[in-house]
Structure 1
Amino acid sequence: MTQDLSRSQRLLRGTGLALAVALAFSGCAEMGPREKGTATGAAIGAIGGAVISSATGGKAGTGALIGGAVGAVAGNIWSKRMEDKRKQMEAATQGTGVEVTRTADNRLQVNVPSDISFDVGRSALRPALHPVLDKFASGLDGSMKVMIVGHTDSTGSDAINDPLSVDRAASVRDYLVMRGVSPTRISIEGKGSHQPIADNSTAEGRARNRRVEIFLSEAQPKG
């Protein structure tokens, strides 16, 4: 009798999990870009909540509701403004080697390689980077936040590369501030040579690793 009851409980939990997943994603197809960012966060939270609740013996539906609420609050959104900015940056950087992408967490990433950003061992901006930053700075509203991350290749020691990467990020920040972006909306970080995207044993790879990444995000509005 106890075995049959346990089997029934597992079946109900599995059904609750499936229902939570279905409910979480059912409305996404009809949503616009802004709502989809929120809905995706809610969906991921719902699934996580349902899985955790089911695994720990709780009610999957209740866990999904709690997880969905957390996911919706935590996620960035991808609004029409963000999509317009992506298109603007793609047009502005065409043929420059700058990569413009939308990240999995709904941020706009602008990856600027060394040939238009910085000379080897220097943190001063090259003139070729100015038009890119001018376009980036234009049209940003108060809800958008900027994160700038500087990188170096593996030439030299961490004692040199770590502060150099921070200085490069700071140079980009200072230029954006001169173009009217509030410094309170900008954060910077330096990764030194610790996050390479190419092989440091080749000159081409080292050039790719000497870069600055600029992230633009629009947080979920508080309601």
Structure 2
Amino acid sequence: MTTTRLPLIRTTALAAAIVLLAGCETTPTGRPLGEREKGTATGAAIGAVAGAVIGSASGDAGKGALIGAAAGAVAGNLWSKSMEDKRREMERATAGTGAQVTRTADNQLKLEVPADISFATGSATIEPRLRSVLDAFANGLSNQPTMYVRIVGHTDSTGSDAVNDPLSLRRANSVRDYLTDRGVAASRIETFGRGSREPIASNDTPEGRAKNRRVEIFLRDTAKG
């Protein structure tokens, strides 16, 4: 085996180890990985592989992998502590409501609120069950100026676009107004109405139409750290 192949083999092993780490759900002690730790590990894995490839072209794949892993770890850790705290808070606030709290691929917090706790059919008036969820969402945001909110309203396909488009926007604006009443600056909130153009279920059944009548609330941290 030639000496030039040895660094590449070591680098490949290093990259593979980091990739395996990124795929783990727990630490070596058995503690579940948090969202920030998962992002760091995944970023390190991607950076290590990319760094090894780039480094091998210049004759130092091992150094490239280490630099790439470090850079990737920083890039992967875009899920701030504030975002993780907010995610946990929203999971507690929405427990049993049918609302879903997820982290998007681009590191936003997404709150998807179903029709049965948000708005009555044809109405843009916030239902009482949604208010407690929005109270939890607004909690602390007035003191976090790097947090921005995007609200998207959706309807099912019942009715025409002339009815559904403005209704979906009015619903998004109702959520915005509720949040601003609780101290979130309107300049940090943007609203959109998609009408029935972005269904997540079939509009051929009552159950599917109920899923499509929803409000999606996204939170992003521009500080990212």
Assess same fold via TM > 0.5.
Answer: yes
- Report what 2:125 is aligned to: 124
Q: Report the CA distance between 1:20 and its aligned residue.
A: 3.8
Q: Report the CA distance between 1:90 and its aligned residue.
A: 3.1
- Report what 2:215 is aligned to: 212
- Is 1:167 matched with 2:170? yes
- Is 1:200 matched with 2:203? yes
User: Can you list the C-alpha shifts for 1:64-94, whole angstroms capped at 9, x where unaligned?
Assistant: 122222222x33445445424432x135xx4
Separation in structure 1 between the aligned mates of residue 11 and residue 114 of structure 2, nearest angstrom: 50
Structure 2: gaps (5+ residues): 58-63
Q: Report the CA distance between 1:210 and its aligned residue.
A: 0.5
- With normalisation by structure 1, the TM-score equals 0.72
- Report what 2:98 is aligned to: 98
Q: Match for 1:36: what amino acid?
A: G
- Is 1:12 matched with 2:10? yes
CA contact (8 A) 1:20 1:60 kept: no
Separation in structure 2 between the aligned mates of residue 25 and residue 114 of structure 1, nearest angstrom: 36
Separation in structure 2 between the aligned mates of residue 176 and residue 31 of structure 1, nearest angstrom: 39
CA contact (8 A) 1:48 1:64 kept: yes
| 1:14-53 superposed matches below 5 A | 14-21=12-19, 29=27, 36-53=34-51
Q: Report the CA distance between 1:200 and its aligned residue.
A: 0.7
Q: Report the CA distance between 1:114 and its aligned residue.
A: 1.9
CA contact (8 A) 1:13 1:54 kept: yes
- Counterpart among 132, 157, 179 of residue 182 in structure 2: 179
Q: Report the CA distance between 1:167 and its aligned residue.
A: 2.5
Q: Match for 2:79: what amino acid?
A: G
Separation in structure 2 between the aligned mates of residue 161 and residue 10 of structure 1, nearest angstrom: 59
Q: How many residues align?
A: 212
Separation in structure 2 between the aligned mates of residue 219 and residue 128 of structure 1, nearest angstrom: 30
Q: Report the CA distance between 1:218 and its aligned residue.
A: 5.2
Q: Report the CA distance between 1:104 and its aligned residue.
A: 5.5
Q: Percent identity?
A: 42
Cα separation, partners in 2 of 1:199 and 1:146, compared to 1, 3 Å: same
Q: Report the CA distance between 1:60 and its aligned residue.
A: 2.0
Q: Match for 2:180: what amino acid?
A: V
CA contact (8 A) 2:79 2:224 kept: no
- Report what 1:137 is aligned to: 138
User: Can you list the C-alpha shifts for 1:170-189, whole angstroms capped at 9, x where unaligned?
Assistant: 11101111122222333333
- Report what 1:64 is aligned to: 69
Q: Report the CA distance between 1:197 and its aligned residue.
A: 2.5
Q: Report the CA distance between 1:163 and its aligned residue.
A: 4.1
Cα separation, partners in 2 of 1:221 and 1:205, compared to 1, 3 Å: closer
